[in-house]
């Protein structure tokens, strides 16, 4: 499991010599209309306009893809699609807690093989932005910190604290030396052109006062001293010390970024959030394609930005227990590449065209004189001009009006909330608000129903009763994470209560206050109630349950559940979770507090400890027929299923279940929580991704642990694919920069392995509606369907010019026309 070479990286590589290590100290080139200063070959430096690679300023588009959230088998296709989308850089965090889960023991294998990931990026001709942190947040458990760090004596995270700084420096040094040993920094011939130290520290710095300021200076000096040969950056750190570059994270950095803190540093945007990460209990909020593109163009125009990274470009899957508090297993599914790596929203294609339009004018953007001026009340121009070349960004902030502005004696009509990129300051080559990129429809098709009751087995998780057999005991309520070490979501709190029936009332009330996320209560093995919190309401959760007690000794077993650990904020090491107060009230008698009684603690579930989700571990318990065991809390379910006969993404539809975790062939595909409905009444996530590499040719072992009660007989195996593609392009749109023709085109393309099988709709004219429901308008070329069918049927992809000549002439002179096409992929 653990890579032997890490020890060598620690011990030997500190002496590695790099030919251009001084570049990490911030040496820069100067070229404002003049010649470059002398720069050593292979260096990455920077100046006030851009990162400088081999002496040349670069306009760079980057996308965040996390190696931990996909599988090595997925990496080549994800990176290839990113490259085709016009990216130059793949950006990733380094995840400390997966690489050093136990202090001094390192894991860089499988989907944690960061070297293999970086080498694949290099093989496809892209650069790497390496965000070492090692605090990362990233909606990842404990912000990327290994939990053993919590137990280091006298430690305070992320401040001028010697124990923390020693461990942070040791891990950062390990990562840097590993990269050097593998020859992965750019001066060595590798793809890494920039690294990041810390992460959004400015958000918590005030909590630490002067110690926070000294910590920032220390982190910067430590990083630069590692002599990587490439620059370092700090995101959301306006006072990043020289030579560290301060960068922006956010939705609208063209409006919010204060700018580089030195005229010799470039404007870099490290996180352009492509959507909002989903939360259990919340409806999905997708960010529009137009809004993402508008923000990018505005940052380049207003801030003279030269590096934009999309967070996320591919979100992937939070396998196992890796997600932070209340975050769903699916991560950034609305990114340009969805959870499965598919392209179905127009974001990928629209940004591809934007990247091409910007790079077409790299020379004036990176070397030209900059000016800006008003074109109207809510319109402005940003101009970059050299002696030979010019580009203008004409901005319209008005969300409703379509004004006509005059720029250099030429009239331009600006769409609402849009930016027009004007090449040579004369010709519009891209308009943000005109999305001509293909749209798609993603479909989940049931390929196997697991409804046969005879194929299912069940195991009832035992409810602990005997305090003497507990792993720990104490006369106080233990803190949850300190006890579990975040190695499981579950912690049992067990206490005995002696009941003597009173004369005045039979009513007994159990009261529990907890700072965990979910609480399940059992009395004498009988379930008495549950309660859970939410992402927005992070205070105590309170259970008040009427219970029945027997005369004499009764056992109360409380299962405290975390749905991920925290990932952000100051003083994470001091956060407290788990049960805080427990009391019993008999009738009108005073509360009887149990907080200081003798409590027993069991870490994790019995089934977890015995790994009954694996083939080998499943033999350690007696599985029973599922009869009468559906809808029961704390029940394990087991069955097998066949591998679908296609290369499409494979998922489980768990809508019929409640809350728990699911394994396929011993691999956890994550937590599920479909019983926590959103305001719209739907689960936050219904489909759970099974990577192809997790599957066997047949007889795949499926195991679930269900906390709240569900019906496994309604689980289905689904494949997910793009079944419909659609394009709608106006004849007045600028021709795509990736096409060869003089006219705009509708370009359609099915995913790999599929072809266009039928044309659902085609109209050249003024069709009404959108890709979800088109209809023929008052103007329509009768040849539309035949022309499109001839161009597309049986092919993986096709393109049709939006031109009267293609359709036998102009069907309606004087009417502005579009071509709308909807095609099926099979």
So which residues are the catalytic ones? 200, 271
543: left (phi over 0), alpha (psi -120 to 50) or beta: beta
Q: CA-CA distance, 344 to 722, in Å (whole number)?
A: 7
Count helices and strands in the chain by DSSP H and E runs: 13, 44
From 819, 742, 765, 821, select the one nearest 789 (Cα to Cα): 821
Q: CA-CA distance, 352 to 360, in Å (whole number)?
A: 12
Q: Is the dihedral of CA 270, 274, 275, 278 positive or negative?
A: negative
End-to-end CA distance of the chain: 41
Contact (Cβ atoms closer than 8 angstroms) between residue 253 and residue 244: no
* Residue listed under structure tokens 């016009």: 86
Whole-number Cα distances in Å, 508 to 159, 497, 511: 49, 12, 10
Collapsing DSSP states into helix, strand and coil, what is residue 692?
Answer: helix
Cβ neighbours of residue 361 closer than 8 Å, sequence gap 6 or more = 384, 389, 391, 421, 423
Q: Which two tokens stand for residue 261?
A: 């803190």
SS3 content of the chain, % helix, strand, coil (to 5): 20, 35, 45
* Residue listed under structure tokens 């749109």: 733
Distance of CA 767 to the CA centre of its chain: 37
- What angle in degrees, to the nearest 10, is found between the helix axes of 347-360 and 289-302? 20
Contact (Cβ atoms closer than 8 angstroms) between residue 28 and residue 171: no
From 571, 558, 751, select the one nearest 649 (Cα to Cα): 751
DSSP assignment letter at 186: G
Q: Which two tokens stand for residue 444?
A: 């989940």
Distance of CA 240 to the CA centre of its chain: 26
Q: Which two tokens stand for residue 588?
A: 């009108």
Bridging pattern class, strands 700-706 and 635-641: antiparallel
DSSP assignment letter at 143: G
Q: CA-CA distance, 157 to 738, in Å (whole number)?
A: 49
Cβ neighbours of residue 56 closer than 8 Å, sequence gap 6 or more = none
* Residue listed under structure tokens 């409804």: 451
DSSP assignment letter at 573: G
CA atoms within 13 A on the CB side of 498: 2
Collapsing DSSP states into helix, strand and coil, what is residue 80?
Answer: helix
Q: CA-CA distance, 10 to 387, in Å (whole number)?
A: 52
Per-residue DSSP letters for 279-296?
A: BTTS---BPPHHHHHHHH
Whole-number Cα distances in Å, 146 to 134, 525, 567, 593: 10, 35, 11, 35
């Amino acid at each position: 499991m653990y890579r032997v070479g890490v020890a060598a990286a620690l011990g030997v590589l500190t002496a590695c010599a790099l030919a251009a290590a001084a570049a990490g100290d911030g040496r820069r080139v100067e070229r404002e209309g003049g010649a470059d200063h002398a720069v050593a070959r292979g260096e990455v430096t920077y100046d006030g306009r851009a990162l400088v690679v081999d002496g040349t300023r670069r306009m760079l588009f980057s996308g965040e893809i996390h190696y931990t959230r996909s599988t090595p088998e997925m990496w080549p296709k994800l990176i290839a699609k990113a490259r085709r989308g016009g990216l130059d850089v793949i950006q990733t965090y380094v995840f400390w807690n997966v690489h050093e889960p136990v202090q001094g023991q390192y894991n860089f294998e499988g989907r944690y093989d960061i070297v293999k990931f970086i080498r694949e990026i290099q093989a496809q001709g892209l650069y790497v932005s390496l965000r070492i942190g090692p605090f990362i947040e990233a909606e990842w458990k404990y912000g990327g910190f290994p939990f053993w760090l919590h137990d280091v004596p006298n430690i305070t995270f992320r401040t001028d604290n010697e124990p923390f700084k020693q461990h942070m420096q040791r891990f950062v040094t390990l990562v840097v030396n590993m990269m050097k040993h593998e020859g992965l920094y750019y001066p060595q011939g590798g793809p890494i052109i920039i690294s990041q130290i810390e992460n959004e520290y400015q958000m918590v710095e005030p909590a630490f006062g002067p110690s926070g300021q000294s910590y920032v200076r220390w982190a910067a000096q430590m990083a630069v001293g590692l002599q990587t040969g490439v620059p370092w950056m700090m995101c959301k750190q306006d006072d990043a010390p020289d030579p560290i570059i301060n960068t922006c994270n956010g939705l609208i950095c063209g409006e919010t970024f204060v700018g580089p803190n030195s005229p010799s540093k470039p404007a870099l945007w490290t996180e352009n959030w492509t959507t909002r990460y989903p939360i259990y209990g919340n409806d999905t909020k997708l960010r529009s394609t137009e809004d993402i593109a508008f923000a990018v163009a505005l940052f380049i125009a207003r801030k003279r930005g030269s590096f934009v990274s999309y967070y996320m470009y591919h979100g992937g899957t939070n396998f196992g227990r890796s997600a932070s508090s209340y975050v769903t297993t699916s991560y950034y599914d609305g990114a340009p590449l969805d959870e499965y790596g598919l392209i179905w929203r127009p974001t990928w294609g629209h940004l591809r065209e934007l990247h091409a339009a910007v790079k077409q004018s790299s020379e004036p953007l990176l070397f030209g004189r900059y000016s800006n001026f008003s074109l109207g009340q809510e319109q402005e121009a940003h101009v970059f001009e050299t002696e030979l070349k010019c580009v203008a960004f004409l901005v319209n902030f008005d969300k409703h009006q379509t004004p006509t502005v005059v720029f250099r004696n030429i009239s331009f009509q600006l769409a609402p909330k849009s930016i027009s990129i004007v090449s040579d300051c004369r010709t519009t080559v891209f308009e943000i608000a005109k999305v001509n990129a293909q749209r798609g429809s993603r479909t989940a098709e049931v390929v196997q129903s697991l409804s046969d009751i005879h194929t299912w087995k069940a195991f009832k998780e035992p409810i602990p009763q005997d305090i003497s057999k507990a792993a720990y005991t104490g006369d106080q309520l233990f803190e949850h994470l300190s006890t579990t070490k975040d190695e499981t979501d579950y912690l049992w709190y067990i206490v005995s209560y002696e009941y003597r029936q009173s004369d005045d009332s039979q009513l007994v009330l159990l009261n529990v206050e907890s700072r965990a996320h979910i609480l399940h209560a059992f009395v004498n093995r009988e379930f008495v109630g549950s309660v859970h919190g939410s992402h927005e309401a992070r205070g105590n959760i309170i259970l008040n349950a009427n219970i029945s007690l027997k005369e004499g000794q009764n056992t109360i077993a409380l299962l405290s559940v975390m749905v991920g650990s925290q990932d952000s904020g100051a003083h994470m090491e001091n956060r407290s979770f788990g049960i805080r107060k427990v009391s019993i009230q008999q009738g009108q008698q005073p509360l009887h507090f149990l907080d200081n009684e003798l409590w027993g603690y069991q870490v994790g579930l019995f089934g977890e400890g015995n790994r009954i989700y694996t083939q080998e571990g499943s033999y350690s318990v007696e599985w029973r027929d599922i009869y009468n065991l559906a809808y029961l809390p704390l029940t394990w379910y087991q069955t097998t299923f066949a591998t679908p006969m296609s290369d499409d993404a494979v998922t489980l539809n768990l809508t019929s279940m409640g809350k728990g975790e699911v394994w396929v062939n011993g691999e956890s595909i994550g937590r599920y929580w479909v019983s926590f409905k959103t305001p719209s009444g739907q689960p936050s996530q219904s489909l759970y991704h099974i990577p192809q590499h997790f599957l066997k040719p047949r007889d795949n072992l499926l195991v679930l642990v269900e906390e709240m009660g569900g019906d496994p007989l309604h689980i289905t195996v689904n494949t997910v694919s793009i079944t419909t593609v659609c394009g709608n392009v106006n004849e007045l749109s600028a021709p795509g920069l990736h096409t060869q023709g003089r006219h705009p085109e509708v370009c359609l393309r099915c995913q790999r392995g599929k072809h266009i099988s039928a044309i659902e709709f085609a109209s050249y004219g003024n069709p009404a509606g959108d890709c979800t429901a088109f209809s023929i308008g008052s103007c329509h070329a009768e040849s539309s369907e035949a022309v499109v069918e001839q161009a597309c049927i049986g092919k993986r992809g096709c393109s049709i010019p939006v031109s009267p000549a293609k359709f036998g002439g102009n069907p309606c002179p004087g009417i502005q026309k579009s071509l709308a096409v909807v095609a099926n992929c099979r």
